[in-house]
A and B are shown apart, each in its own frame.
Chain A
Amino acid sequence: DADVTQTPRNRITKTGKRIMLECSQTKGHDRMYWYRQDPGLGLRLIYYSFDVKDINKGEISDGYSVSRQAQAKFSLSLESAIPNQTALYFCATSDSGASASNEQFFGPGTRLTVL
């Protein structure tokens, strides 16, 4: 089974709709991240969290919100989707432990299309 899972894997929605993307991990990591990927722009950080009580904005947080429901769950919401939020979204995790090397492990991605 995958260590980092994302649901849904694909979603098509209409402008103005509220959308939630979910991420779960079984790696036991405390840090979780949401990125979006657009052709030619690479991976850009939306939000990150280093524990259940900590939420931080990334480079491009406008139009998005997040919830860290548990150490293993981190969800991303688009309150009112717009077409330029069409992208591939990735969740990632990393470990902050003393022996951790800080690499991030990614989920399989959610392809979101906003019409």
Chain B
Amino acid sequence: EDQVTQSPEALRLQEGESSSLNCSYTVSGLRGLFWYRQDPGKGPEFLFTLYSAGEEKEKERLKATLTKKESFLHITAPKPEDSATYLCAVPDRGSTLGRLYFGRGTQLTVWP
């Protein structure tokens, strides 16, 4: 059973059209939720860590929020350079070694 589910799988937005990506998780006793950005053929790039329900973090046009069961990555007035795959991940509940379970990602395309 997947620990992390991301939706939608793909999202196409026109430049300036705001939207949200979803990450839902089933692991209990959450010890952090991580968002990454991945460009084609490159390694994931760390964006945010969220630890508790109600927490929010922002970076440029991106804002990540966390509830008890899911996280949202809000993209405000996106630009073509925001096109990428966005991944979320949660730590393994029973692990002290920092193992992460990754979702399959949302592929975002922003067209001019």
Contact = CB atoms under 8 A, between A and B. Distances in A.
A108 B45 CA distance: 10
Nearest to B45: A106
Contacts of A108: 42-43
Contacts of B99: 33, 45, 48, 58
Given A31-B97, A31-B98, A101 B42 contact: no
Given A42-B102, A94-B98, A101 B32 contact: yes
Interface of A is mostly: strand
Contacts of B49: 101-103
10 contacts: A40-B104, A43-B89, A43-B102, A58-B99, A102-B91, A104-B98, A104-B100, A106-B36, A108-B43, A111-B41
A42 B43 contact: no
A65 B100 CA distance: 20
B14 to A, nearest CB: 26
Given A45-B100, A102-B49, 7 more contacts: A40-B104, A42-B105, A43-B87, A58-B99, A102-B31, A104-B34, A106-B36
A20 B53 CA distance: 42
Nearest to A100: B98
Interface in A46-103: 48, 50, 56, 58, 88, 90, 92, 94, 96, 101-103
B104 A41 contact: yes
A42 B32 contact: no
A106 B104 contact: no
